[in-house]
Structure 1
C-alpha cells in the first residue's frame, strides 16, 4: 500500500504585513523538498469556520518560488473565525480533519496566536506552529527582536516623513503625522527617531491610562513655541494612533471633529486624532495671536502590503524554514522566534498570558537607552529653557505669554536636562534644529 503523503496547512490571520509571502514561500519550498503536501487556506480560518473546505489551494514550488519579494498575501488574510467559540472551533477542527491536514503553520499577530494555541490544545494531536507578524512590533519576541514586517513599515514610514519634513520646511507649516500602533508606540518611535522628526509622542510617555487632550497637546505646543523662538514656523510631529485610546472623551469639546453613538458617547475607535489635536492647538495658539499653518497626515495602510526590504525578506525566509522544520521534526506546538541568534520554537505556554489567553503587549521601554537617544534629538521644551533668563524671555515673546505665565503653563512638561543622561548647557540658538533636517 502506498504511504500517505503528510500534509501541512498554512493560513494567515489578522492584518497584512510585509513579508507574509516570504514565510509562505520558505515553508512551502522546504515542505515540498521533504515530500510534504502543502495546502494553503484562503482568508484565514473564515471559510473553515463556516464549514466550507473548498477555499484552499495546493501550493507547489513553482507557485511560490518568486513571491518572497512581493507584498500582500497570496492566501489573503482575515480576522473572521473566532475559534474560542466552541461551535466554530468544532467546525474548524472538523474541516482540518476532512482536508487531511496533519499540522498547521499559522501566520499572524496576538489574536491569531491565541487561535493557534486553542487549535493545538483542542485538536487531538494537531500540531500548530505560529509565525508572529505585525508592523506594530508589539509582540513579546525574546530579546526585544522585531516582528517581521516592522522594519519594512518603518523604512517606508521614514521616507514619507522625510518628504513631509522637506515640505514643511519649504512651505512653513507643521505636520501632525499619525502612524499605526493600536497599543504601543514602536512604529511611531521608530519612524520619528530614524527620520529625525521634530517631536514624536507615544502612549508610553504618559503614566496614566486616561489623559486629557490638553495633556497631549502641551508638549507639541511647547515644541512649536520653541521653534518660533528660533525663527522657525515648521515642524513634523509623529504620533502613535494608540494615543486616541488614552484620551478622556470629556476633554474633547470640538463636536465637528468627532462622532458619537446613539447614547451621545464619543466613538474613540473613529476618533480623528490628528484633526482633534490640530483643532485644539489652533484654538489655543490663536487665542494668543499665534497663527500656525497645520496639516494632518495618516500613515497606515500604505505600509502593510509594501514589498519587504531585504531585512524582512531574509528574516521571513528563516522563519518559514524554521516553521516547516518544526513541523517535520514533530516539535511541540508553539511560536517561532529568534532566541539568542537562533530560530527556535517557544511553547505557547511560555508566550501566552493564561489570564487573557493572548500574548502580552510589548510596550516601548521609556527607561531604555534607545528611547533616551530618540528623545534627546527631539525639539522639546527643557527645564533649562525656563530657568535661563535670556531663553525664557525669547520663549515668552514667541508664546504670547508673560514670563511668569510661560513658566506656569509649561513647567510640568519641561524636560529636565538630567533626564537625557547628562547635564547640558546648550542654548536654543546654538542647538539649532536638534537634527540637521528637522
Structure 2
C-alpha cells in the first residue's frame, strides 16, 4: 500500500489491556476484517497502552488480511498486552491522546476487562467524539456487569480447561489419599472457582461472596476447609479437592497476610495477588488445625491460573468473539463512541460507559456471584462442607468422633463456619 493512500484512509486501532484470555485473537481478526471491508486502515497497538502512555508511537503494527485471517483459532494475543493505566494521571492521559492523534487514529477498539474499560472511558470523555472508542469485554474472571448475565469472553474456555485440571487433581487425590487446595483466578468474583468446582464435581469451592462483611478472618476460611475434610472422613474418604478463589486474599485482613505488605500495586492500584502465597498460607494453617484435632492428612497447595489464560479458545468463545469484534466496528462506523459492546438476545448491544460506572467509586462496577440464586444453590448442595443440620444429633457425634473434641466442643468450634452463607434459600438456614 502506498503511504499516501494510507494517509487518506481513516485509521482504526486495536489494543489489548490486562491479562490474556482465550478469544482475544478472534476479536482482533473479526474487528480488523470488518474494518478492512469498510475501507479502513487497521493498525495494532503493541502492549496495550504501555507505549502510548509515554507518547511513543513506534510500537505499532500495520495489519493486513494475511496477518489475521486464521488467528481466531489461537490463544494468546498477537499484539501483546500490558496493565498500563492510560488515566494514571493527567500527563499520562494527555500522552495517550496525543499519541493516538499523531497516529491518525479515528477509531479505537480496546479489548479488556474493568480496568481497560475504565481507561477507555477517560479517553472517550476527553476526545469527545474525535476518536470513537469502544471496548470489548474480556476476562476469565467473568466479573463485568453484562446484560442478561452473559459471560465475558474467555470465561467459558477457562472454565472448561480449569475443570479438566480439577478432575485430574481429584483422581490424584483419590489415588494418593491427599487433599488439594486449588487456588484459581478471580480477584473480585468467585465465578470461575465456583464454576470449575461445579463442572468437575470437586469437593467444595470457597469464594469471597459467601462471607459477610468487606473483611473477614482467615480462620473462617480455614475452618470451612477443615470442616469439609472432617465431614468427608466421616464417610470413609481421606481425599478431596477444594477450589478457592484468589479474591479471598483481598477480603482477608492484610495483617494476616505478611506478604501483602511487601507486594507492590499495579498501575490500577490493585495488589499483586500472585505475590501473596495464599495456597501455601492456607495449606499450613489447615495442616496445623488438623494436627491440633489429631488428624493426619497430606494437604497440597496448587495454583491454577496462568494455564487458563492463553488456552486455545473453545468454539463458543470463537463464535462469541467474532460477533463482538464485528459488532464493535459496526458500532463505531455507525457514529457510536463511549460504550462497551455486549450481546443481548443474540444482538450486539452497546452499553454506555456511564451505565457501567459505580457512582460511589467512579470505577467500573464489578459483577460478583449472586449467592441467592438457584445456580449457586445447586453448586452448594453438591459440595461436602459443614451445614447447620450437621450440628444436630446424631450427625454431630459422628463428626466429633473424627477429632479429639467432644460433641459440644466441636459444635462451638465449627458452628460459625457453617453459617457464613449470606443468601436465602431452602437449603441454607441460620
- TM-score (normalizing by structure 2): 0.91
1:71 — aligned with what? Answer: 75
Q: 1:61 aligns with which of 59, 65, 69?
A: 65
1:69–1:308 CA contact under 8 A, matched in 2:
yes
Equivalents in 2 of 1:42, 1:268: separation in Å? 23
Give the SS at the match of 1:106: strand
Q: Deviations over 1:250-303 (max 9, x none)?
A: 456xx7xx57549xxxx9843211111111111121122210111000001111
Q: 2:371 aligns with which of 357, 360, 366?
A: 366
Of the three residues 326, 331, 334, the one matched with 2:331 is 326
- Cα gap change, 1:366/1:330 in structure 2, threshold over 3 Å: closer, same or farther? same
Identify the match of residue 307 of structure 1 among 308, 312, 315: 312
* Cα offsets for 1:211-236 (capped at 9, x unmatched): 22211111111111111111110000
1:315-337 deviation per Cα after TM superposition (whole angstroms, max 9, x unaligned): 00000000011122212331101
Q: Deviations over 1:338-363 (max 9, x none)?
A: 12331111111112234433211111
Q: Following the alignment from structure 2 to structure 1, what is the Cα–Cα distance between the partners of residues 127 and 158?
A: 35
Count residues with an aligned counterpart.
415
CA–CA distance in 2 between the matches of 1:86 and 1:342?
37
For the pair 1:119 / 2:123, whether they are aligned, the reply is yes
Summarize the Cα distance change of 1:422–1:99 in structure 2 as closer, same or farther, 3 Å threshold: closer
Answer whether contact 1:209 1:246 (CA < 8 A) is retained. yes
Which moves more between the two structures, 207-216 or 364-373?
Answer: 207-216
Aligned to 1:212: 217
**Residues in 2 aligned to 1:67 and 1:25: alpha-carbon distance in whole angstroms:** 7
Q: Distance in 2 between matches of 1:163 and 1:149?
A: 22
- Comparing 359-368 with 46-55, greater Cα deviation is found at 46-55
Measure how far apart 1:404 and its partner are.
1.5
Task: Tell me the SS of whatever aligns to 1:191.
Answer: helix
Is 1:6 the counterpart of 2:42? The answer is: no
Query: CA-to-partner distance for each residue in 1:378-411, whole Å, 9 max, x for gaps?
Result: 001223322132x323212112211111222222
Structure-2 separation of matches of 1:107 and 1:242: 23
Question: Does the Cα contact within 8 Å between 2:372 and 2:424 map onto a contact in 1?
Answer: no
Partner of 1:275: 280
Residues 182 and 242 in structure 1, CA contact (< 8 A), matched pair in contact too: yes
Q: Could you tell which deviates more after superposition, 75-84 or 118-127?
A: 75-84
Cα distance 1:91–1:411, how it changes in 2: closer, same or farther (>3 A)? closer
User: Which residue number in structure 1 is paired with residue 267 of structure 2?
Assistant: none
Partner residue in 2 for 1:26: 30
Which residue of 415, 418, 423 corresponds with 1:414?
A: 418
TM-score (norm 1): 0.90
Q: Residue 86 of structure 2: which of 65, 82, 88 is its match?
A: 82
SS across alignment from 1:40: strand
Q: Which runs of 5+ in 1 are unaligned?
A: 425-438
The alpha-carbon deviation at position 49 of structure 1 amounts to 1.6
Q: 1 CA distance for matches of 2:424 and 2:117?
A: 38
Please say which of residues 395-404 and 227-236 is displaced more in the overlay.
395-404
Partner of 2:180: 175
| Residues 1:185 and 2:190 aligned together | yes
Give the structure 1 partner of residue 39 of structure 2: 35
Contact 1:383 1:416 in 2 (8 A): no
Identify the match of residue 146 of structure 2 among 138, 141, 152: 141
**Is the 2:254–2:260 contact (alpha carbons within 8 Å) kept by the matching residues of 1?**
no
- More off after superposition, 79-88 vs 178-187: 79-88
TM alignment of 1:337-348, pairs within 5 A: 337-348=342-353
